């Protein structure tokens, strides 16, 4: 059973970057926060428990997907195959940590989106070949006196995309002590590329990924790069929810995804309607005038919300399995690459 006293090892991120810091309007998303530096979140014991669950044969056999932006992804396995993982992300202390860093009160988006795994595995021979190739290129660069464009070797584990949900928390499940690369690259408002250094095992970053185009870069010097991505949305029904299913629809059990998506969207609508009804009754009891304009405005907002919900529920025979299909911002600009570092 998940126990925060045993399994959480939280340390405040050295720094968080705002939307303004990366050249985006401050009101782009649901919070001014864009991304955090890596921070300690889970203990080694917690990581090993999570790895044992998510890398099991039954998860690999029943919950494996691939797409045109990622070769191997595991998803939709909680709570059926991964009870510890489910409890870890649902625990109030974990939610409070992620919310504090994100600058807005959050909850996990849906159970289906808890613990999504991006998996990149290579053999020891492949690892050594990559390291040898890197050493050779570095030697040639020194000999020729020409620095190599750092983007040339940046092959992504997950290609350029924007997430389907407002916030994500990405946790490293691999030993990254010898890892070269493995950063998360962000496209700024000016078109430049910022790189957030990859976290160590048990560490995490929080990213407002619905509004920022990003990719997970390849790591060398290791035989694996395994990250866990859990998605979040606002807890309050009054905060806008821009969730879509664009990047997850083609890599999901659609029946389960559509059920959970519809359920939580209807729950939001239910809470909004109850709130409006309560307000109407209170105004009536206080002898105040009923404002038709305010009611109509509320109704129109809910119609837009329902319309967007409907747009995401594409019939199964029209979904191309594995094809994400979203315009994620095109090729990386050559204008410049910057790395976010802890001072």
- Mean pLDDT for 316-337 is 63
Q: Would you say 232 and 102 are in contact if contact means Cβ atoms under 8 Å apart?
A: yes
Q: How far apart are alpha carbons 17 and 35 in whole angstroms?
A: 5
Q: How many percent of the chain have pLDDT more than 90? A: 72
Kindly compute the dihedral angle of the four CA atoms of residues 82, 87, 89, 93, in this order, to the nearest 10 degrees.
Answer: -160
User: Which domains does the chain carry?
Assistant: 4-259+322-340 (2.60.120.620)
Categorize the per-residue pLDDT at 199 as very low, low, confident or very high, splitting at 50, 70 and 90.
confident
Tens-digit pLDDT profile for residues 14-32: 999 999 999 999 899 999 9
Output the DSSP codes for 219-258.
EESSSEEEEEEEEEEESSTTS------TTTGGGS-HHHHH
Q: Please report the pLDDT score of residue 224 as a whole number.
A: 86
Q: Please report the pLDDT score of residue 153 as a whole number.
A: 46
Q: How far apart are alpha carbons 198 and 71 in whole angstroms?
A: 20
Q: Please report the pLDDT score of residue 335 as a whole number.
A: 38
Tens-digit pLDDT profile for residues 114-153: 999 998 887 577 666 766 776 676 666 565 554 444 444 4
- Mean pLDDT for 286-306 is 97
CA angle (231 as vertex; 94, 208 as ends), nearest 5: 95
Residues 6+ apart with CB under 8 A from 42: 7, 8, 9, 50, 88, 171, 202, 204
Residues linked to residue 206 through DSSP beta bridges, in sequence order: 169
Cα distances (Å, whole numbers) of residue 35 to 20, 23, 190, 224: 11, 13, 17, 24
Q: Please report the pLDDT score of residue 339 as a whole number.
A: 43
Q: How far apart are alpha carbons 52 and 70 in whole angstroms?
A: 22
Q: Would you say 114 and 171 are in contact if contact means Cβ atoms under 8 Å apart?
A: no
Q: Please report the pLDDT score of residue 271 as a whole number.
A: 98
Give yes or no for residue 53 having a pLDDT over 90.
yes
Tens-digit pLDDT profile for residues 230-283: 999 999 999 999 999 999 999 999 999 999 999 999 999 999 999 999 999 999
Cα distances (Å, whole numbers) of residue 217 to 87, 180, 214, 286, 305: 29, 10, 10, 59, 35
Q: Please report the pLDDT score of residue 325 as a whole number.
A: 67
Residues 6+ apart with CB under 8 A from 233: 106, 107, 108, 109, 165, 166, 167, 241, 243, 264
Q: Please report the pLDDT score of residue 254 as a whole number.
A: 97
Categorize the per-residue pLDDT at 332 as very low, low, confident or very high, splitting at 50, 70 and 90.
very low
How many Cα neighbours within 13 Å face the side chain of 125?
Answer: 0
First vs last C-alpha separation in the chain: 37
């Amino acid at each position: 059973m998940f126990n925060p006293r045993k399994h959480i090892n939280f340390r405040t991120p050295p720094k968080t970057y705002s939307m303004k810091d990366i050249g985006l309007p401050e009101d782009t998303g649901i919070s001014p926060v864009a991304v955090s530096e890596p921070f300690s979140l889970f203990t080694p014991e917690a990581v090993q428990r999570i790895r044992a669950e998510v890398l099991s044969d039954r998860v690999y056999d029943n919950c494996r997907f691939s797409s045109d932006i990622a070769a191997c992804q595991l998803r939709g396995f909680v709570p059926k195959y991964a009870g510890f993982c489910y409890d870890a992300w649902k625990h109030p202390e974990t939610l409070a940590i992620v919310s504090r860093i994100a600058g807005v009160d959050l909850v996990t988006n849906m159970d289906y989106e808890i613990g999504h795994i991006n998996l990149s595995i290579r053999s020891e021979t492949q690892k050594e070949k990559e390291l040898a190739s890197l050493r050779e290129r570095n030697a040639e660069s020194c000999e020729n006196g020409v620095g190599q464009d750092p983007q040339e070797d940046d092959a992504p584990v997950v290609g350029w995309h924007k997430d389907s949900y407002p916030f994500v928390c990405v946790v490293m499940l691999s030993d990254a002590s010898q890892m070269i690369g493995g950063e998360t690259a962000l496209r700024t408002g000016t078109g430049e590329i910022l790189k957030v250094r990859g976290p160590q095992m048990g560490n995490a970053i929080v990213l407002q990924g619905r509004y920022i185009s990003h990719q997970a870069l390849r790591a060398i010097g290791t035989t694996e790069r395994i990250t866990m991505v859990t998605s979040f949305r606002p807890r309050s029904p009054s905060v806008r929810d821009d969730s879509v299913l664009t990047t997850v629809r083609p890599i999901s059990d659609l029946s389960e995804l559509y059920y959970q998506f519809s359920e939580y969207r209807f729950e939001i609508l239910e809470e909004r309607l109850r709130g409006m009804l309560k307000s109407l009754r209170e105004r009536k009891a206080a002898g105040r005038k009923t404002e038709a304009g305010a009611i109509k405005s509320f109704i129109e907002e809910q119609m837009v919300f329902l319309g967007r919900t409907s747009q995401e529920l594409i019939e199964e025979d029209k979904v191309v399995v594995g094809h994400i299909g979203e315009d994620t911002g095109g090729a990386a600009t050559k204008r410049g690459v910057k790395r976010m570092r802890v001072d």
